Structure 1
Amino acid sequence: MTPNATTRDGGAPAQTPGGALAPPRTGPGTRLPRASGGLVGAVAAEWTKLWSVRSASLCLLAGLVITGVFTFYYASIARINDHPVQPVGNAAATSAVVSQFVVVIMATVAVTSEYTTGTVRPSLLWVPRRHRVQAAKALVTAAVAFLGGTGYAVVGSAVAWGAFDGRAAFDAGTALGQALAFGLYQALVAVLTVGVAFATRHPAGALSILTTLLWALPSVLLGLGSETLATVNDALPYAAGDHFMRVGADAPYSSASSVLIVAAWAAAAHAAGLYVLRRRDA
C-alpha cells in the first residue's frame, strides 16, 4: 500500500495529485470514521468558531454602548418629566428593545456565515448528527447572550442611577433579579435567532423576519391602539419579555407565563430550523 492510499476502513484520507486531501472513499462494507466528542465536542468547536472572528466581540461592545446611551436617555426623560419613582433596573430592561438586535446579529452571523463561505459542509461532515450542530450553536450563543445581557443590565442600571437623580429606587434583590431576567431574555432571543437563521440560511432573510417579529410588528399593533391587537402583541416575544424584565408594569399574565411564551417562540424557531437543516442539503 502506498503512503497516499486510502484504507478500506475509512482511515486517513487520500491525497490528490496536487497534494490536497480527498474525502474518504465509501462503498459496500466501508466504515467511516466515528465522530468523537459528542455534544461537548460540538459545543467546544462552536465556541472556538464564534471567537475566531471579530463579529462577536464587536457585537457585544456595540450592545454595551447602546445600553449605556439608552439607559441614560430613559432615566433623563423620567427625571425631566417627573415620572413616579421606579426600580432603577427598569431603565436597563427597557433598553432591550434596542440591545436585543445585537444578539440577533451575532447569532445570525454565527449560522449564516457558514452557509456563505461553505464551511457548513465540513461542520456537518465532522458532526454528522445535524441536531447536535444546531444545539451546539444555540447553546453557545445563548450562553454568550446571557452573560452579555446580564452585564448590560448591571452597567445600564449604574448609568441610569445617576441620570435618574432621585427618580429611581434601588433594592439589591430586585436589581439582581432584573439583571438575570434581562440575561435570560437575551439568551432566548439567541436561541430564537439560531432557529430562524438555520431555516432561512441567509442573513437578509433571517434579519428581516426577526426585525419584523421583535420590533416592527409590535410597533404596528400598539400603534393602532386596539385592545384586541394589544392582546395579540402580548403573545409576541418582546412584549412577553418586557413583562418579566420590568417591575411594576401592568402585565396580563405572570412572570412565569411570560418566560414560557418567549421560550415557546424560541422552541418553535429551533424546530423549524432543525426541520430545514435535516431536509435540505448543505
Structure 2
Amino acid sequence: LYQRKSWKQPSTIFFTSLILAHLVLNLLYLPFSIIAFAAGEWIFGSTDEEKKTTCTFTSFLYSYTMRIIFMTLAAISFDRFLFIVKPHLHKRFMRPWVALTLTIAIWILAAVLSSVPFYGLNEYVYDDQLLLCYQRPNSTISLIIFNVLFPCVTTAIIIVTSLWTFCFARSYFKAQSLIAGESVYASKKKRLFGVFGSMLLIYGMGIVPGLVLLSLQHFVDVPPELFISFVIFLFFITIASSIIQSYFRPEIKSVLASRCPLLFYCACC
C-alpha cells in the first residue's frame, strides 16, 4: 500500500477492503467484547432499552464485518487464481474498476445480509453465558441460508481456488527448477509453502474450532469458556494474518527490516 502505483492493481483494492473490515471490527466491536468479558455482563446502557440498542448495534457490526472479511477473502483467492493460473483472463477481465465495483458490491451485500433481523428472518440476542451479542437464526430456512449455505459457498471458493493456485505454482516451480536449476527457485518454493501453510494454519485454527463448537452445541452442552476462547483467537487472526503476509513479501519485509532491524534479527535467531 505504500507504493502509489500499487493502487492501480485489483489485489491492492481487495486487500485495502480487507484491512478496513478488520480495522472496523477491531476498533468498534472488540472493545465492547473485552469490556463485557471483564464486567461479566452487558453494561452498555443505563436502561434495558439502551442495552438492547447497543447490543443490536454490536451484533450487526460483527455480522457485517465478518461477512465482508470472508467474501473479500474469496475475492482475493479468485483474483490470485486468475492472475497465476489464467493470466490472460485476469488481464482481460480483472481491471481496477472491476475490482472496485466488486468490492462495493461486497460491502452492500454484507449490509443487506446482516440487516435481515430487522425484517424478521433472524434475531439479535445476548447470551448471558457467552457474554456476547450476536445474530441467531429463528427458523430452519434462515439457518440453512445464513449459517450453512453462505459459509459453505464462501469457504468452497477459498479452498478450491487456493489449492488450485498452490498446485499450479508448485508444478510450475518444479518444472522450471529442472530447466534452470534447483537453487534458482528454491527460495520461491519455500515462500510458496510458507505463505500457504501459515495462512492455512492460522485460519484453520481460528475458524474450524468455532464451526465444530457451533455444531456440537445442538447435541451437547459446550462450556462457555470454549466459545470465549474461540472469539479471542478469532480476533487474533486479524493480527497474525497481516504479520504473515508482511513477513513473506520481500518488498514489505525489506522496508520493515530497514526501520526495525532488531526485530527481524531476533526473529531470524
Provide TM-score, normalisation by structure 2.
Answer: 0.31
Provide TM-score, normalisation by structure 1.
Answer: 0.30
Q: Which has the higher helix share?
A: 2
Work out which of the two has the higher radius of gyration on C-alpha atoms and give 1 or 2. 1
* RCO comparison, higher one (Cα < 8 Å, 6+): 1
